[in-house]
Amino acid sequence: MHPQQQVRDLLGPADPARGVDVPAAPLSAHDLILRAESSASSAALPSRRRASRRAVLVRAAVAAAAVASAGLVPILRRDPAPTRPTQPAGGGTVLQPVGYEIATDGEPAGPHLRALAGQLTDASYDRDGGRYAYQRSKSWGGMSVFSPEGYVASYVDERRTWTTADGRRWSDRTVLDIEFPDEASRDYWTRQTPRPAPSGSRRAEGPREEPRDLAPGRRLASGRAALARLLGTDRPAGDVAMTVYGIYSEHLVPRRTRADILSILAGIRGFVWRGRVVDRAGRAGVGVTADLVPPAGERPERAQMLLVFDPATGELLAHEYLELAPQHRVLHYGLLLEGRRTDTLG
């Protein structure tokens, strides 16, 4: 089965692209950005030579399941297309993995997660009122372009959403800077698109409402049993970590539910405590990781999922998907930068 179809089967009724035809892929980073200007068409991405099927599936699932962590092209979604930079960028940042306080010999995360769950404080939105749940996030790597040789390029994508209690949602997206997982990829794509980096990017022209038929699926499960089913606690810890990011990308998670999520994660084998972590936005948090092991017979790539939580409120601050071997590099990251209640749209 094609990896994209596997992702859609995994999402089930939550798949925002049911019934949507996905045309052929672009061939270059330049074409990818130009294609993203049109919300009427979607684009599949070229597969990476030598990339494992597991890596392709996980990267696609991160982008599709975490709706707020929107990629460059709306391949599995029908929300407004992003606003691209004024020019395709040459140069760009080479990403370095986030450092952990406990880099080796980590211990099971269960006791630490239970302790955190038992002492949570209110998030700002727990006390606020307002018609809309407003969220702002940035992500990289959800939708990437690969050269035939395996060089990767992706743009940072910022997304803002305004969601009502009944699930109606308005959103806008803006493409920001280009970033790369390694220097070789940066050198390759700089040669392919030798243009100066833009001085800035245009903000999307105001929020637009997403299809209303998706609204019923945007209500957060309540109760520990329902949350356990939503998280898929029978799956490996790395897969559960992706679902956690998806939940926080979609919702302003209330304090009681945050505590339940942490308690559920504490009972899942495979989460490792990493202690203090500073995320890419400079925020201090605490981290847990879960390894992803490819199925037997596939390319022996080792990967890891990182979740960074606020040590006081238990909110999820950030998520990273890292390749550990044969290379050590970032393949995807997401930052949940702002969450609050508001009566203002836009």
Whole-model pTM: value is 0.76
CB 30 within 8 A of CB 189: no
Give yes or no for residue 143 having a pLDDT over 80: no
- H/E segment holding residue 53: helix 53-65
Confidence grade of residue 281 (pLDDT, cut at 50, 70, 90): very high
- My answer on whether omega of the bond before 80 falls inside 30° of 0, hence cis, is no
Tell me the mean pLDDT in the region 94-99: 94
Tell me what pLDDT residue 300 has.
62
Tokens of 77: 């979604």
What is the per-residue pLDDT across 178-213, written as a single tens digit (0 to 9) for each? 999 999 999 999 888 655 444 445 556 789 999 988
Give yes or no for residue 165 having a pLDDT over 50: yes
Percent of the chain whose pLDDT exceeds 90: 54
Tell me what pLDDT residue 218 has.
79
Give every CB contact of residue 284 below 8 A, 6+ residues apart in sequence.
276, 277, 278, 311
Paired strand residues for 178:
155
Tell me what pLDDT residue 279 has.
97
230 vs 218: CA distance, rounded Å: 12
Tell me what pLDDT residue 327 has.
85
Lowest mean pLDDT among 82-91, 155-164, 260-269: 82-91
Confidence grade of residue 21 (pLDDT, cut at 50, 70, 90): very low
Tell me what pLDDT residue 216 has.
75
What is the per-residue pLDDT across 292-307, written as a single tens digit (0 to 9) for each? 877 666 666 789 999 9
